[in-house]
Amino acid sequence: MSVTRDEDVLGGEPRIDGTRIGVRHVAGRVIDSGQSPAHVADQLDVSLADVYESLSYYYAHIDEMREFEAENETAFERVRESSLKPKETVQ
């Protein structure tokens, strides 16, 4: 199997073994962006089999993938809220 998980890489998210390419990244390109699996494989320099395995893993573990997406969105919101904001003008 070419999909693996390691807590030290991508925060433990499933990824293509030997890369830092996450299953969600592959799925996003194919599902959300409408890119063909062959195009994604070419652009990411992975095998077409890796792309299809990633998609298979994504659909087989859809609840897990949604959890990762929700966690990612929550973390993004925290960063956005804590980022520097313009100084208030004193009158």
- Every domain of the chain and the residues it spans: 3-82
Mean pLDDT to the nearest integer, 67-82: 84
Evaluate if residue 21 carries a pLDDT over 90: yes
pLDDT digits (tens, 9 = 90+) for 49-64: 999 999 999 999 999 9
When computed from its CA atoms, the radius of gyration of the chain, rounded to whole angstroms, is 17
CA atoms of 73 and 3, how far apart (whole Å): 23
Cβ proximity of 51 and 61 under 8 Å: no
Q: What's the chain's length in residues?
A: 91
Residue type, 58: Y
What does CATH list as the number for 3-82?
1.10.10
- Alpha carbons 55 and 40: distance in angstroms, whole number: 11
3-class secondary structure, 35: coil
User: Residue 82 above 80 pLDDT?
Assistant: no
Average pLDDT over residues 25-48: 96
pLDDT given at position 9: 93
Which single residue is written with the structure tokens 């320099």?
45
Give the pLDDT band of residue 90 (cuts 50, 70, 90).
low
